[in-house]
Amino acid sequence: MKQLQLLMGMPITVEIVDPNVTEDAIENVFAYFSHVDDTFSTYKEHSEISKINRGELCEEEYSDDMKTILALSEQTKQETQGYFDIQHNGIADPSGIVKGWAILKAAQMLQEAGWSNFYIDAGGDIQVSGTKGGNPWRIGIRNPFNRRENVKVLTITDKGIATSGTAIRGQHIYDPHRPHTPLVFSASSFFTILAAPLNHIPCAYLLGCKFVTRIYLCSANQHRINIYYCTHPCAYHRSHSISK
């Protein structure tokens, strides 16, 4: 069973291929993503993060999820020597870390409910579990210079994959150490990170090729990761598998 909904400002797809799957199993996942959006969206006036940014809540009033994300954000800031920072122009925006965290939590929900073979895709960040039809899940990496072409098809199970690039969202990555200096990316460059599980793929940390290895090594713990990147129509690369 497969469903798609627009939540958190992006398309979210949930597919469960176990026998006897019910619509309630998928709806519970979408309800969870809706809760995450209501908590962390900086675009919603009454979200918890918006209230925090307006100074309407003290730390004692933060939800457990908010405390978790803020602690994780600070930990990641330290691990990346400040290259990941949710504070920008005086506003806290944890969206760069919330999406991967929420996908991982949704996957854990499905596993705890007894489902073993599923796929969750939230805006291009994906967590898969088990297999589909007895075979690993097949995930295509789309060519940002030719959206009708896949430059790579990955066959994976029990792993996460995330892509950050400029083909869809345009220029949206900045260097917090030099916030007023624009980073120069090809109009359609991308980086795709493969790891297990998804919370070890902080895709929003990407600041350019020279930072990739160092930043992802800081965040990979003991999990091995692969990096695929494309910065030119004729320049598609894969890194060596790396681990911390």
**What pLDDT score was predicted for residue 147?**
73
**What pLDDT score was predicted for residue 172?**
58
Residue 243 belongs to some domain of the structure? no
215 vs 45, higher pLDDT? 45
Percentage above 90 pLDDT, the chain? 42
**What pLDDT score was predicted for residue 171?**
61
225 vs 94, higher pLDDT? 94
Residue 113 belongs to some domain of the structure? yes
Tokens 């709806």 identify what position?
Answer: 27
Asked if pLDDT for residue 80 goes beyond 80, the answer is no
Query: Taking the mean position of all CA atoms in its chain, how far away is CA 109?
Result: 17
Q: Residues 82, 176: contact at Cβ < 8 Å?
A: yes
Indicate the number of domains in the chain.
Answer: 1
- What is the mean predicted confidence (pLDDT) over 94-104? 88
Whether pTM > 0.85 for this model: the answer is no
Asked if pLDDT for residue 242 goes beyond 50, the answer is no
Residue 140 belongs to some domain of the structure? yes
At 32, phi and psi to the nearest 5? -65, -45
Burial of 45 (0-12, 13-18, 19+ CB in 10 A): exposed
Most confident of 35-49, 91-105, 132-146, 159-173: 35-49
Query: H-type helices in 91-133, by residue range?
Result: 95-112
Residue 244 belongs to some domain of the structure? no
Asked if pLDDT for residue 244 goes beyond 70, the answer is no
201 vs 170, higher pLDDT? 170
Most confident of 5-9, 46-50, 86-90, 156-160: 46-50
**Alpha-carbon Rg for the chain in angstroms:** 18
Asked if pLDDT for residue 218 goes beyond 80, the answer is no
Q: Residues 7, 33: contact at Cβ < 8 Å?
A: yes
Asked if pLDDT for residue 167 goes beyond 80, the answer is no
- What is the mean predicted confidence (pLDDT) over 153-177? 72
- What is the mean predicted confidence (pLDDT) over 118-142? 91
Token digits for 163?
A: 């892509």
CATH code of residue 170: 3.10.520.10
Domain around 28: 2-238
235 vs 138, higher pLDDT? 138
- What is the mean predicted confidence (pLDDT) over 204-229? 42
163 vs 2, higher pLDDT? 2
Sign for the CA dihedral angle at 126, 127, 132, 137 comes to: positive
Mean pLDDT, the chain, as a whole number? 77
